[in-house]
Chain A
Amino acid sequence: MTRWLPRTYLTLVYLLLYAPIAVLVVFSFNDSRTGYEWGGLSWRWYESLFNNRAMVEAMWNSLWLALSAATISTLIGALTALALHRYRFRGKKALNGMLFVVMMSPEIVLAISLLALFLLVGLQLGYVSLLLAHVTFCLPFVVITVMARLSGFDERLPEAARDLGASDFTMTRTVLIPVIMPALLAGWLLGFTLSLDDVVVSTFVSGPSYEILPLRIYSMVRVGLKPEVNALGTLLLMFSMVMLIMSQWILTRSKQ
């Protein structure tokens, strides 16, 4: 009684979490056209996915956008975190608070305000507007990840490096950055993932010139669920798992 109850409970929880994903993966190999009957194993949806030129292009667009947004927000975010950590200056608290405002405010608010801003300055909606928007919402997450690492950073390390003859710049390059590298990678991965699956903000600030994957899927699903979407979902799932394993691997390696 006391032994099987927690087990059943746990099984149910995991079933609830993973059943939909399992269904998605299984049905991506379903030969049948409809989503509720099994027609045997097949790769046909993967084939039709890769023959869909608009889809493949959206996929590349999304990857490129996520890559650039994550990289730019990691660069800016790491410098912001360093400044907030190292220096005392007027308006530091306000700056810190503003990061949280961006993070906590409803996405729709951010989306509308960004759109309003872009229209105001006359920026054409497309890759640049998407990039700016994605960097904006990724930034606080990077800053917070890096700040967390810096708060556990031994303040004596930079001093030890200086003491041994390193200039401030050399110290940053040889000691500071290597030590906070795991946080930089974690921040980058977080930004990459956030950018890759964002729908709300992207809906507002994207234009016809640059279609990205989540929006493409969304418009596909609106006219009826095509099994191609299952195949795409499975690929994305594989991709994020590889990323996750990679990040874990980097983190455990850096601890050694």
Chain B
Amino acid sequence: MKQTLLSLSNLSKQFDGKTVLDSLDLDILDGEFITLLGPSGCGKTTLLRLMAGFEHPDGGTITLASQDLTHTPPEHRPLNTVFQNYALFPHMSVFDNVAYGLKMEKRPKEEIRERVQEALAMVQLQDFARRKPHQLSGGQQQRVAIARAVVKRPRMLLLDEPLSALDYKLRRTMQVELKRLQRELGITFVFVTHDQEEALSMSDRVAVMKDGEIQQLGTPREVYERPANLFTARFVGETNLFPGLVEKTNGDDTVTVDVFGLKRTFAKPDFPLRDGQSLHVLLRPEDIRVLSPEASDGVSGKVVERNYKGSTLDSVIHLDDGTEVLASEFFDEDDPAFDYRLGEPVRVSWVDGWEWLLPEEASPVGEETNVDA
């Protein structure tokens, strides 16, 4: 079983009296790819900077393999960082950039040359050693930054939104590259991003953050399919949240819920329920079934928007009571002409068992609510 490599316990950080991190606990396992995911200002970058040693916590401890790192300066921590805008040294060649960390360790010249070449080969830049950073494209600079950080063979690599400056296609390529590197090197990766798609596709575990607290920590599948709260549900992926009302809890660990007048039977959630309680029924766009207006099941509405996405057809449907529903359907090979007209009347349903129930939350004033929009 994997062991804990870095342990953050009770970490707090304030900037000018504003709490950025609030007594946060997180254990990072040896060899895993963990992503800190959250909107800007959620504290994910601050958390990463605390691990790197660029900031000092106001409280709490950071332990790496039972060695206390809380007040160790960055140059003495066995972890390295890939910065958002790469932070390559502009006056040095690619070779010297990558060699910098090894020169600081006072390694022999021959070893430095070998290891730098090896690192550059790993990111497919062996022919660019003599270039200066400004002669490279964004993607190449990114690779140099990665080579520079891994050449020291750190216990852990910290990546601060490393792909955010790249265009979409390059980003996808680099995502695959990073995964490959992580597998080959066996180094623990801590990856910071605000891009939920990136987080889901790359990570072993995702920590969803908001307001300096971890909202949920779990595998991408857990976070997407079984979000711990409304914030995670909305932040990770597209979401339909339908208002539900508990009709009655049944003996066989099921519960009957009224959703838009439909009586549905769901598996009992792990939070306490009582009859007459309102809750949220979460359904992802791909869980939605769009039926013909003659169907007996479902809630009636009409198509107000359709988006051809190549492999899926995404549509927005307004139910009769005004609720907006997002639906994403795969093309059916039997029906190549499958499409909707705008304004077309349909009925909306879903497959029972694909829903996820969440308790109602007292949402703070001013917070965006797209539940009943």
Residues on A lying within 8 angstroms of B by beta carbon are 154, 156-157, 159-167, 170, 174-175, 178-179, 181, 254, 256
Closest to B73 in A: A162
Is there an interface contact between B80 and A164, defined as CB atoms closer than 8 Å? Answer: yes
Contact of B104 among A154, A165, A254 (CB under 8 A): A165
Which residues of the other chain, B, contact A156 by a CB distance below 8 angstroms? 83-85, 87
**Number of B interface residues in the complex (CB < 8 A):** 25
Between B53, B75, B83, B152, the greatest number of chain A beta carbons within 10 A of the residue's beta carbon is seen for: B75
CB distance from A222 to the nearest CB of B (A): 50
Which residues of the other chain, A, contact B76 by a CB distance below 8 angstroms? 165
Which residues of the other chain, A, contact B284 by a CB distance below 8 angstroms? none
Contact of A170 among B83, B88, B104 (CB under 8 A): B104
B132 CB-CB contact with A under 8 Å: yes
CB distance from A81 to the nearest CB of B (A): 19
B18 CB-CB contact with A under 8 Å: no
Which residues of the other chain, B, contact A166 by a CB distance below 8 angstroms? 75, 100, 104
Is there an interface contact between B91 and A178, defined as CB atoms closer than 8 Å? Answer: yes
Which residues of the other chain, B, contact A179 by a CB distance below 8 angstroms? 89-91
Closest to B91 in A: A178
- Give the CA-CA distance A166 to B84 in the complex, in Å: 20
B208 CB-CB contact with A under 8 Å: no
11 contacts between A and B (CB under 8 A): A154-B87, A157-B87, A159-B81, A160-B81, A163-B74, A164-B80, A164-B149, A164-B152, A165-B105, A166-B75, A179-B89
Is there an interface contact between A256 and B74, defined as CB atoms closer than 8 Å? Answer: no
Which residues of the other chain, B, contact A164 by a CB distance below 8 angstroms? 75, 80, 100-101, 104, 148-149, 152
- Give the CA-CA distance A256 to B83 in the complex, in Å: 23
Is there an interface contact between A165 and B87, defined as CB atoms closer than 8 Å? Answer: no
Residues on B lying within 8 angstroms of A by beta carbon are 52-54, 73-76, 80-81, 83-85, 87-91, 100-101, 104-105, 132, 148-149, 152
Closest to B101 in A: A164
- Give the CA-CA distance A25 to B52 in the complex, in Å: 62
CB distance from B106 to the nearest CB of A (A): 10
Is there an interface contact between A165 and B101, defined as CB atoms closer than 8 Å? Answer: yes
Is there an interface contact between A175 and B89, defined as CB atoms closer than 8 Å? Answer: yes
Which residues of the other chain, B, contact A159 by a CB distance below 8 angstroms? 52, 54, 74, 81, 83, 87
Which residues of the other chain, A, contact B149 by a CB distance below 8 angstroms? 163-164
- Give the CA-CA distance A145 to B92 in the complex, in Å: 23
Contact of A162 among B75, B84, B148 (CB under 8 A): B75
Is there an interface contact between A165 and B83, defined as CB atoms closer than 8 Å? Answer: no
Contact of A154 among B52, B85, B91 (CB under 8 A): B85
Between A159, A161, A165, A178, the greatest number of chain B beta carbons within 10 A of the residue's beta carbon is seen for: A165
- Give the CA-CA distance A157 to B75 in the complex, in Å: 14
- Give the CA-CA distance A159 to B83 in the complex, in Å: 9
CB distance from A7 to the nearest CB of B (A): 38
Which residues of the other chain, B, contact A256 by a CB distance below 8 angstroms? 132
Closest to A179 in B: B91
Which residues of the other chain, B, contact A181 by a CB distance below 8 angstroms? 91
- Give the CA-CA distance A55 to B87 in the complex, in Å: 53
